[in-house]
Amino acid sequence: MFVSTGYGKESEPSTSSSVQWSQPCRQFEFPEILLATENFDESLVVGSGGFGKVYKGTIVNGSSFVVVAIKRLDSMSNQGAAEFWAEVEMLSKLRHCHLVSLIGYCKHEKEMILVYEYMPHGTLEDHLHKLGTPLSWLQRLKICIGASRGLHYLHTGTGIEFGVIHRDVKSSNILLQESWAAKISDFGLSKIGPTNQPSTYVNTLVKGTFGYLDPNYFTTGRLTRKSDVYAFGVVMLEVLCRKRAVDRSLDEEQWGLATWAQDFIKEGNSKHIIDPDISGQISARCIKEFVRLVERCLHNNPKQRPTMAEIVVILESLSTIQQKTNSLLQATTVRTIFSRMFNMFLFPSNKGNSAHIDSKLAGNIKGNNTKTLMTNVKADNNTIVDVRDVCDDLSIRIPDPSFRVFKFADLDCATRNFSQDLHLGLGRFGEMFLGWVDEKSFAPSRCGDGIAVVVKRRSSSSSQEYNQFLVSF
């Protein structure tokens, strides 16, 4: 069985200039590879897999420098020349925004090296299972949509003369750009098949990765596009549950994620398999349709599984539904925030804390023409909790507010890394985000728990300077 060849370390953004690579697949000389990787310096290793190590390197493209991922075949690898040339042949003919581009290759004596576009965020597997990256439900949906578009392109042969069955779809073979757009990678096991014939199969030796293997393909040796669909169904479960395809934390007799999750789904207990970090974010309709799609992808009979084209359409519709739900939730939440704040200022708590509003507030209630200032906390790193720009209809002014200084990391956590799902709008100062903090300690809390706050983050392009930031309070 083959394991990931995606590169997985979280890396810092490159300072080198990067350009779109539009040339056909290029053959590199070995000295060029040595120069790009500083003689395969171990400090440049960004991942490893069944093929070998992957290095971050820089190559010359005309007058520009391009950051690339350089995959070097390990002499001890189970993969070899067949997989190497299969990938070169496949990717030299394929170009799609959701497929990782092969820039070139190098064959020098026993050295077999592939040069790809560099993907700054590494693999989906890393963010789900290793780095613990906060990924909102909407972000996860968008990643699934990107990957499904890439697979749809492969299967239908749009713009090419043949269709491709990937044969090793998994989270470690889904790479992420700086914008978090998903791209399919690693075509060493892929097979070419005729287009426009969904039921066509290829008789081949069974290869792939445990946990993602289509049981029908494993039993019969007949590889079809629906085998990729099954594997993608497992990926969607990973995204929903944040558990590995083969997870030893599950029941001893059910290490396979697909079997474990399907048992809950059949019992009508889908909510028990959802990653707790996103359980409060998913609309009831969205989770129902998403789980139904997963069930169809994992169907024992390949003919009952959807095509990748159907999957793309369904996921895009779910994304639209979720975005509308989020907009309604945010509008409702903002109204609730201001209602609670209004009550808080009218009837301040006697409990002592840094956000306590002095009783002098009662004597500072002005007319409706008074400029509203309802700011009771601020933070370092130019991020403040401020609702001035959206509360002008209230009539409270705080003359000498007591400030609480937040660490940027806490506000980053409270707003889920300033997630676009929690984006409330744009003001003169910058963007506003919804966040959640504990009612007593003001530490970051989970979405929906504690107190909802508005975090206003200064934009680098804002006309307001730091001194104005200080004076305004």
Residue 145 has pLDDT above 50, yes or no: yes
Selected residue with higher pLDDT from 472 and 265: 265
Instruction: Assess whether 394 and 296 both reside in one domain.
Output: no
Q: Which amino acid type is present at position 299?
A: H
The answer as to whether 71 is a domain residue is yes
Q: Which of 27, 292, 78 minimizes the C-alpha distance to 188?
A: 78
Q: How far is the C-alpha of 140 from the C-alpha of 350, rounded, in Å?
A: 43
Residue 142 lies in a domain: yes
The answer to the question of residue 14 being in a domain is: no
190: in domain: yes
Q: Are residues 414 and 301 in the same domain?
A: no
- Does residue 144 surpass a pLDDT of 90? yes
* CA–centroid distance for 21 within its chain: 24
- Domain end call among 252, 281, 306: 306
356 and 294, same structural domain?
no
Kindly state whether residues 211 and 283 are assigned to the same domain: yes
* Residue 266 pLDDT: 87
pLDDT at 407 over 80: yes
Query: Tell me, what's the pLDDT at 388?
Result: 40
Percentage of the residues of the chain whose pLDDT score is greater than 90: 28
Which range among 17-21, 55-59, 328-332 shows the weakest confidence by mean pLDDT? 17-21
From 319, 272, 326, 315, select the one nearest 292 (Cα to Cα): 315
Residue 198: is its pLDDT beyond 80?
no
In a domain, 410, yes or no: yes
Q: Are 121 and 257 contained in the same domain? A: yes
State how beta strands 182-184 and 423-426 pair: unpaired
Q: Is residue 48 assigned to a domain?
A: yes
Which range among 92-96, 273-277, 407-411, 456-460 shows the weakest confidence by mean pLDDT?
Answer: 456-460
**Among 75-79, 221-225, 233-237, 278-282, the least confident range:** 75-79
Q: Does residue 274 sit in the same domain as residue 398?
A: no
For all residues of the chain together, what is the average pLDDT?
76
Query: Angle at Cα 327 formed by Cα 126 and Cα 441, nearest 5°?
Result: 65
- Residue that is last in its domain, among 306, 329, 356: 306
Question: Looking at the structure, do residues 112 and 174 belong to the same domain, yes or no?
Answer: yes
Q: What is the 3-state secondary structure (H, E, C) of the chain?
A: CCCCCCCCCCCCCCCCCCCCCCCCCEECCHHHHHHHCCCCCHHHEEEECCCEEEEEEEEEECCEEEEEEEEEECCCCCCCHHHHHHHHHHHCCCCCCCECCEEEEEEECCEEEEEEECCCCCEHHHHHHHCCCCCCHHHHHHHHHHHHHHHHHHHHCCCCCCEEECCCCCHHHEEECCCCCEEECCCCCCEEECCCCCCCCEECCCCCCCCCCCHHHHHHCEECHHHHHHHHHHHHHHHHHCCCCECCCCCCCCCEHHHHHHHHHHCCCHHHHCCCCCCCCCCHHHHHHHHHHHHHHCCCCHHHCCCHHHHHHHHHHHHHHHHHHHHHHHHHHHHHHHHHHHHHHHCCCCCCCCCCCCHHHHHHECCCCCCCECCCEEECCCEEECCHHHCCCCCEECCCCCCCEECHHHHHHHCCCCCHHHEEEECCCEEEEEEEECCCCCCECCCCCCEEEEEEEECCCCCCCHHHHHHCC
Please tell me the pTM assigned to this model. 0.65
Is there a domain that residue 176 lies in? yes
Q: 356 and 273, same structural domain?
A: no
* Boundary (domain end) residue, out of 273, 306, 339: 306
Q: What is the mean pLDDT of residues 428-438?
A: 80
Q: Answer whether residue 173 shows pLDDT above 70.
A: yes
Catalytic residue selected from 126, 168, 214, 421: 168
Asked if 449 is an active-site residue, the reply is no
Structure confidence by residue, pLDDT tens digits, 233-278: 999 999 999 999 988 777 656 678 998 999 888 888 888 899 999 9
Query: In this predicted model, what pLDDT tens digit does every residue of 305-339 receive, in sequence order?
Result: 999 999 999 999 999 988 888 777 666 655 555 55
More confident residue, 196 or 403: 403
Rg of the chain over CA atoms, in angstroms? 26
Confidence of residue 393 (pLDDT cuts 50, 70, 90): very low
Q: Which CATH number goes with the domain that contains 122?
A: 1.10.510.10
Q: Is 71 annotated as a binding residue?
A: yes
> Is pLDDT larger for residue 32 or for residue 385?
32
The parent domain of residue 399 ranges over: 348-471
pLDDT (tens digit per residue) in 378-390:
444 545 444 443 3
Q: Rounded distance, CA 433 to CA 422, Å?
A: 5
Question: Mean pLDDT throughout 364-380?
Answer: 39
Residues 294 and 386 in one domain: no
The dihedrals phi and psi of 72, each to the nearest 5 degrees, come to -110, 125
Number of domains in the chain: 2
Is the pLDDT assigned to residue 139 strictly greater than 80?
Answer: yes
pLDDT at 170: 95
* pLDDT at 79 (0 to 100): 64
Residue 184's pLDDT is what? 93
Is residue 294 domain-shared with residue 416, that is, in the same domain?
Answer: no
Length of the chain: 473
248 and 368, same structural domain?
no
Residue 100 or residue 11, greater confidence: 100
Q: How many CB atoms are closer than 10 A to CB 76?
A: 6
What is the per-residue pLDDT for 439? 80
Question: Are 355 and 256 found together in one domain?
Answer: no
Residue 270 lies in a domain: yes
